[in-house]
Amino acid sequence: MERITISLDGDLATAFDALIAERGYRNRSEAMRDLLRAELERARGGRDDGAFCIAALSYVYNHHERELAERLTGIQHRHHDLTVSTLHAHLDHDNCLECTVLRGPSAEVRRFADALVAERGVRHGSLNLISAEVARGGHSHGEAPVYRRGGAGPHVHYRPRS
């Protein structure tokens, strides 16, 4: 671990300490590491379309909107190689929240998310994308069979970049 020192004016230090307390950090170092990771990820995500990612896409939509649920499901099926899982929750009599876990090439994940959120009737769409390294598995996870896209061969792990 490398140690760095920073200087903050009094108001900024007070505001940072309030944020630390609000979020439940035990110390400034843990909070600073998380802030740096988030900013580095944001910067990397804006320029690294050739990389792979894992992502969470969340959006709210009115399920009464004409054929919207079917259109959303169709988009997910057309991109089944990116879609890992979707959670569906009923918010009230009209609105649903869906959270979809995605993985794959960053540019493709962004295009998928943009297309889904752009559907008429979808509101409050948000993509949280985390850059990942792809590691080909050459190891076993025990006796259980491993099911994967593409049939036989080593499976793929997506490891978040630090």
Asked if residue 27 belongs to a domain, the reply is yes
Asked if residue 5 belongs to a domain, the reply is no
Q: Average pLDDT, whole number, for the chain?
A: 82
Is residue 142 left, alpha or beta, with left meaning phi > 0 and alpha meaning psi from -120 to 50? Answer: left
Q: Are residues 127 and 60 in the same domain?
A: yes
pTM of model > 0.75: no
Listing DSSP states for 45-109 in one string gives HTT-TTSEEEEEEEEEEETTSTTHHHHHHHHHHHTTTTEEEEEEEE-SSSEEEEEEEEEEEHHHH
* Per-residue pLDDT at 16 exceeds 80: yes
Confidence of residue 146 (pLDDT cuts 50, 70, 90): very low
* The pLDDT of residue 147: 46
Hunting for tokens 């944020």 — which residue is that?
19
Closest by Cα among 107, 90, 88, 110 to 99: 88
Q: Are residues 27 and 82 in the same domain?
A: no
- Whether 90 and 45 have beta carbons less than 8 Å apart is answered as no
Question: Domain total for the chain?
Answer: 2
Q: Are residues 14 and 64 in the same domain?
A: no
Residue positions counted in the chain: 162
Can you tell me the distance from the alpha carbon of 101 to that of 89, in angstroms, rounded to the nearest whole number? Answer: 15
